[in-house]
A and B are shown apart, each in its own frame.
Chain A
Amino acid sequence: MTPLMHGFVWGLVIATVLVTIAVLSIWFERKFSARMQSRLGPTLVGPAGILQLVADALKMMQKEDLIPEKADSILFRLAPPFTVLFTLSVAAVIPFSENVLAADLDIGVLFMLAVGGLVVFPVWIAGWSSNNKYALLGAMRAVAQGIAYEIPLVLSAMVPVVLAQSMRFSDIISVQAETHWFVIWPLGPGLIAFVIFFICSLAEANRIPFDIPEAESELVAGVTTEYAGMRFGLLQMAEYLHTLIASAVAAAIFFGGWDGPFAPGLHWMVLKTLALFFTIFWIRWSLVRFRSDQLMALCWKYLLPLSLLLVMVAALFVHYCGVGA
């Protein structure tokens, strides 16, 4: 296969599979959260209520396509597709096995951070164009939180880059396959960097405990207040996709990606991704929301200095012990 065809085929497959998993996870989350609260969740439509998804999608499509009169209608329409677009394009650089990858870029990690960081703009545009104070407040909070947590995110993703001496995802995974997963070895920096990366990913995706942008008790539904039907559906889908892709990235750069015994690499990568994805749901239904000031204090006073320190420690480790050893 030529590189062109390779990118084409796997780009198509990876994107389709990820969107499918993200949609299915909505059903899973409803079941899971119900069980955590001693409920049953959806049971009526299809076996174990799995067809509830189809029913919901059909319902959404039959809603009226509401665009508020005072809204900036062009920006209002453009924002939801762009959230999905930016989120999904990050998936291109994640390798799911030695061969299953759409684009093995030289600047892989940087691409992931740069394009992932763009997602705050469609979210802000969605809030601003709605011309609704809850939506705009939610949007301002989303952007402030998104950019603040971007810094520790960039720095903690730097630790695997220093340890592997490369920004290419496949190189980072190969180094881990030859030595140890970065979350295990070097003991300390790898694990802490992973925790910071994971926390920041949650914050970037506005998931509980970082969902102050759509705090329903004060902001109605945050950015999505004025959205109805499929546009609302797209905004929701982007959020689920964001967490899924962040899990895949963390699995690749900290948990050794496709590296694992007995089974083919792809299985391991999918398993690790889904395990992290599940953890996000678990956290979501266990914790309560942070306040804005706690959120900012956590980011600037703890995560930022700590992640700066970690990069230095990782560099010292590489200097004295060599790459990944």
Chain B
Amino acid sequence: MLAEYTGVLVILVLGVVVACAMLGIHLLLGPRRKFAGKHEPFECGESQIVSPRRRYAVKFYMVAILFVVFDVEAIFFYPWGAVFQDLGWFGFMAMFIFTIPLAIGLIYEWMKGGLEW
């Protein structure tokens, strides 16, 4: 079962090795000269007044919710795509009915301006 995934594992290990090697060489060759100011956050020459970690607009959250909703739908398409032919017209209709409420939701969202950034 897991033998299939050897390739994935090998690539993961290789990725770790390459990244570590690159960063290791960097650590050996790079200079280290600390002075005040260099380690300040980049702010176009000014000093940072407020923390950047403040509240962000709710529209980011809206995108995430829409993503989860449609991702659930898209995920259901995958197993359906593999079997619907065996089930014939019935399988197709089942998915079609599943999609309708979501299409209505999308249209509602569109009308309400929820899709405007």
- Interface of A toward B, CB cutoff 8 Å: 3-4, 6-8, 10-12, 14-16, 19, 60-71, 80-81, 84-85, 88-89, 91-93, 101-106, 109-111, 128, 130-137, 140, 143-144, 147-148, 150-151, 154-155, 158, 161-162, 165-167, 220, 225-226, 229-231, 233-234, 292-293, 295-297, 300-301, 304-305, 308, 311-312, 315-316, 318-319, 323
B112 adjacent to chain A (CB < 8 Å): no
B97: min CB distance to chain A, Å: 12
A132/B41 contact (C-beta < 8 A), A7-B7, A104-B4, A144-B60 known: yes
Whether A161 and B6, one on each chain, are in contact in the complex, defined by CB atoms closer than 8 angstroms, is: no
Whether B70 and A304, one on each chain, are in contact in the complex, defined by CB atoms closer than 8 angstroms, is: yes
Report whether over half of chain B's contact residues are helix, strand or loop; otherwise say mixed: helix
Whether B30 and A62, one on each chain, are in contact in the complex, defined by CB atoms closer than 8 angstroms, is: yes
Q: List 28 A-B contacts (CB under 8 A).
A: A7-B6, A11-B7, A11-B14, A12-B10, A70-B48, A84-B15, A84-B18, A88-B14, A91-B11, A101-B7, A102-B8, A103-B6, A132-B52, A144-B60, A147-B67, A150-B67, A154-B71, A154-B74, A155-B74, A158-B78, A162-B81, A167-B78, A293-B116, A300-B115, A308-B99, A311-B77, A315-B81, A323-B85
B46: min CB distance to chain A, Å: 11
Residues of A within 8 A of B88 (CB): 319
Nearest chain A residue, comparing its CB with the CB of B2: A4
Residues of A within 8 A of B60 (CB): 140, 143-144
Pick from A62, A133, A147: contact of B63, CB below 8 A.
Answer: A147
Tally of chain B residues near chain A (CB < 8 A): 65
Residues of A within 8 A of B110 (CB): 300-301
Report whether over half of chain A's contact residues are helix, strand or loop; otherwise say mixed: helix
Residues of B within 8 A of A62 (CB): 29-31
Residues of B within 8 A of A61 (CB): 22, 25-26, 29-30
Whether A134 and B7, one on each chain, are in contact in the complex, defined by CB atoms closer than 8 angstroms, is: no
- Interface of B toward A, CB cutoff 8 Å: 3-12, 14-16, 18-20, 22-23, 25-27, 29-33, 38-44, 48, 51-53, 56, 60, 63-64, 66-67, 70-71, 74-75, 77-78, 81-82, 84-85, 88-89, 92, 95-96, 99, 103, 106, 110, 115-117
A151/B74 contact (C-beta < 8 A), A105-B5, A132-B42, A296-B115 known: yes
A88: min CB distance to chain B, Å: 5
Complex Cα distance, B103 from A297, in Å, reads 16
Residues of A within 8 A of B39 (CB): 66-69
Residues of A within 8 A of B81 (CB): 158, 161-162, 165, 167, 311, 315
Pick from A7, A88, A137, A220: contact of B4, CB below 8 A.
Answer: A7
Whether A66 and B67, one on each chain, are in contact in the complex, defined by CB atoms closer than 8 angstroms, is: no
Residues of B within 8 A of A92 (CB): 7-8, 10-11
Whether B53 and A166, one on each chain, are in contact in the complex, defined by CB atoms closer than 8 angstroms, is: no
Complex Cα distance, B56 from A14, in Å, reads 41
